[in-house]
Amino acid sequence: MIYPLVKMSKTQLCILVFFTGSICIYAQQNGLEKEPTNPEATEFYSPVPPKVIPAVENNGIPSDAIVLFDGKNLDEWISVKTKERAKWVLNSDGSMSVKPGVGDIQSKKEFGSVQLHLEWKSPEKIEGNSQNRGNSGVFLQGLYEIQILDNNDNETYVNGQVGSLYKQQAPLAMASVKTGEWNTYDIIFHAPEFEKGQRVKKGTITVIHNGILIQDHVEIKGTTEYIGWPKVKPHAKGPIILQDHGSPVSYRNIWIRELP
């Protein structure tokens, strides 16, 4: 084989290298590379995933989570309007409640992609109907709302019902517990990406409500508007916002894990 290679011109050599390389890439991409014959060839030892102590073994909070609310105080929260200390109600049972009229509150810290856990409860006293019964909401990056609503025997538009990505995506199921009992939301949010004022990657959201998958890696079209279509608004990291929609919805055990 060496002899003919020596006799080749530079151009012929280049063509040979190009075609050989192309065949190798084609073989790799189409799974035609040589099948390993021993198990070790497909076993990797790095990078080693970090050890995280799960919530069940760590007082309800994973060891690497940032605690946003543990029932002791509202130190991690400020008013969206005034940026002063949040003035919602701190309850003796380790929860906090919307103080209607005070306005939305936001986390002091800002986040990109996250796993967020929170628990929420509709008011036991049933008042109002449709969007005016136990309405609140959790906003990722302050812009994308997952609806919180008392939907038990309470009809409303499906893309605004409990667990909806508000006015963009109805949930796959209505998984609420009884009014006045605690619900859990586990949310996996991948932030949209922007470059030079343009969105280059849509955000996505997955929501598990009381253990039931209700949003399955849904692409976020834009901001969750009350009136009008979603807007694409370039932004950096943003806070978690909890909504005051005039109903004393309660929250407890809020923690968050930043995702790579």
Candidates 64-72, 77-85, 129-137, 180-188: pick the segment binding Mg ion (CB under 5 A): 129-137
The minimum distance between CB 161 and Mg ion, in angstroms, equals 10
Q: Looking only at residues 59 through 118 of this chain, which bind Mg ion when binding is defined by CB under 5 A?
A: none
The minimum distance between CB 243 and Mg ion, in angstroms, equals 5
Burial label for 194, CB within 10 Å (0-12, 13-18, 19+), is middle
Distance CA 125, CA 133 (A): 10
The minimum distance between CB 139 and Mg ion, in angstroms, equals 9
Residue nearest to Mg ion (CB): 137
Torsion angle (degrees, nearest 10) of CA 124, 184, 155, 228 = 120
Q: Which residues make Cβ contacts (< 8 Å) with residue 90, sequence separation at least 6?
A: 73, 74, 96
SS3 assignment, position 19: helix
Q: Which residues make Cβ contacts (< 8 Å) with residue 178, sequence separation at least 6?
A: 152
142 is a site residue for Mg ion (CB under 5 A): no
User: Which is nearer to Mg ion, 135 or 161 (by Cβ)?
Assistant: 135
The minimum distance between CB 170 and Mg ion, in angstroms, equals 14
The minimum distance between CB 220 and Mg ion, in angstroms, equals 16
User: Which is nearer to Mg ion, 224 or 253 (by Cβ)?
Assistant: 224
User: Which is nearer to Mg ion, 65 or 156 (by Cβ)?
Assistant: 156
The minimum distance between CB 135 and Mg ion, in angstroms, equals 5
Candidates 16-24, 29-37, 106-114, 127-135: pick the segment binding Mg ion (CB under 5 A): 127-135
Burial label for 143, CB within 10 Å (0-12, 13-18, 19+), is buried
What is residue 64's DSSP assignment?
A: T
Site string for Mg ion, 9-48 (x = CB under 5 A): ----------------------------------------
DSSP string, 124-155: SS----GGGSS-EEEEETTTEEEEE---TT--
Candidates 30-38, 75-83, 136-144, 168-176: pick the segment binding Mg ion (CB under 5 A): 136-144
137 is a site residue for Mg ion (CB under 5 A): yes
User: Which is nearer to Mg ion, 76 or 145 (by Cβ)?
Assistant: 145
Per the document, the length of the chain is: 260
Closest CA to 78 of 112, 102, 111: 102
Closest CA to 193 of 224, 226, 228, 235: 235
The minimum distance between CB 175 and Mg ion, in angstroms, equals 17
163 is a site residue for Mg ion (CB under 5 A): no
- Which residues contact Mg ion (rule: CB under 5 A)? 135, 137, 243
